[in-house]
Amino acid sequence: MGFEPPQRLVRALGESYGDEGAADWLARLPALTEEALSATGQDTTVERVAAPGGRSSLVLLVTCADGTPAALKIAPPGAEPELERAALAHWNGWGAVQLVASGPGALLLERLHPEVSLRSLPEAKALLEAAGTVRRLWVEPPAGHGFETVAERTGRRVAPMRAGAAADPGLEPLVSAALAAREELVAHSPELLLLHGNFRQSKVLAGERVPWLTVGPEPLVGERAYDLARLVRDRVEDLIASPGGAVTARRRVKKLADSLDVDRERLHGWTLFRAVESGTRALAAGRRQEGELTLEFASWL
């Protein structure tokens, strides 16, 4: 079975695993696909690669033996597909894509419309639908779960942020402010709920069962404000290009916090931390334009 993986996946794998590690996994994709198709226990036929696809795994559009369309997601070990499987199984289709079957390193999912995400809607409507979708995901985690906490995940990112500030002293004020905010926030978490972990408009796709469902969770447990923080900076390119971008960004914090009954100050703090962390990580990976845009957004907060 031969196919060409999307270039955005190839680039992202190179950043995460190094060129050699990425090339090794990509070279094994045909065999991994055959294994995945067998491991899910479903008789499926591959149609094509979903493009542009995601940045952490390969998604194949497939058809089950009964004619039902589905999507087969094949992830490298570092993507922790078992945690995604556990979260999707716990949500059981409530606000998220339905898990059909799974096998080692592979998830068979209900077919959504990958070409239609919330980013296709006007901004106000997209934020409204996003808020309605993400609130469904915030449930008590399953007993005995293996998800990390917000404190643990963000704690691993402190050292790289400090390294970024050391390499570029101009970043030091923003990095210091972001780390101080994190320190205060993790000292006391008001709740311990199952979170998506990477929720934003492009992670919400049109479906048949219900209008909108989320995909691609990086699940963890913690407070809702952390999950909302990435959504605040959606369409950052448009915000930066707008003369009222800074005001709009601050208004988003207030609007999202109020609509979902989340503490404004905690949402502000997590939005700052996640923006600075993402910006410094992008700069370190050589994605300078993305990093600079994200850090400019952070400076408005």
Residue-level pLDDT, tens digit, the chain, 301 residues: 556 777 777 777 777 767 677 778 778 878 888 888 787 767 888 888 887 767 778 888 999 888 899 999 988 867 778 899 999 999 999 999 999 998 888 899 999 998 899 999 999 999 999 999 999 999 999 999 999 999 999 999 999 999 999 999 999 999 999 999 999 999 998 999 999 999 999 999 999 999 999 999 999 999 999 999 999 999 999 999 988 889 999 999 999 999 999 999 999 999 999 999 999 999 998 999 999 999 999 999 9
Q: What is the pTM of this model?
A: 0.92
Q: Does residue 176 belong to any structural domain of this protein? A: yes
Domain span holding position 265: 116-300
Contact predicate 219/88, CB 8 Å: no
The answer to whether residues 123 and 239 belong to one domain is yes
Q: Does residue 2 belong to any structural domain of this protein? A: no
- Looking at 58, 89, 111, the residue that finishes a domain is 111
Please give the sequence-ordered ranges of beta strands (E in DSSP) within 32-171, or none if there are none: 44-49, 58-64, 69-74, 99-103, 106-110, 113-117
Neighbours of 147 (CB within 10 A): 22
Q: Which residues, including other chains, have CB under 8 Å from residue 113's CB and lie 6 or more apart?
A: 205, 206, 207
CA–CA gap between residue 191 and residue 226 (Å, rounded): 11
Side-chain half-sphere CA neighbours of 184 within 13 A: 14
Structure tokens at 277: 């962390």
Structure tokens at 51: 């493009």
The answer to whether residues 229 and 287 belong to one domain is yes
- Looking at 111, 131, 155, the residue that finishes a domain is 111
Structure tokens at 210: 């219900």
Which residue is it, tokens 């609509």? 259
Q: How far is CA 239 from the centre of its chain?
A: 20
The answer to whether residues 107 and 126 belong to one domain is no
Structure tokens at 147: 């998800």
Neighbours of 88 (CB within 10 A): 22
Q: What angle do CA 272, 75, 156 make, to 5 degrees?
A: 35
**SS3 of residue 100 by DSSP:** strand
Structure tokens at 68: 């039902």
CA–CA gap between residue 51 and residue 206 (Å, rounded): 16
Neighbours of 291 (CB within 10 A): 20
Total domains in the chain come to: 2
Q: Does residue 1 belong to any structural domain of this protein? A: no
Give the amino acid at 89.
A
Q: Which residues pair with 149 in a beta bridge?
A: 221
- Looking at 82, 111, 140, the residue that finishes a domain is 111
CA–CA gap between residue 260 and residue 277 (Å, rounded): 24
CATH number for 226: 3.90.1200.10
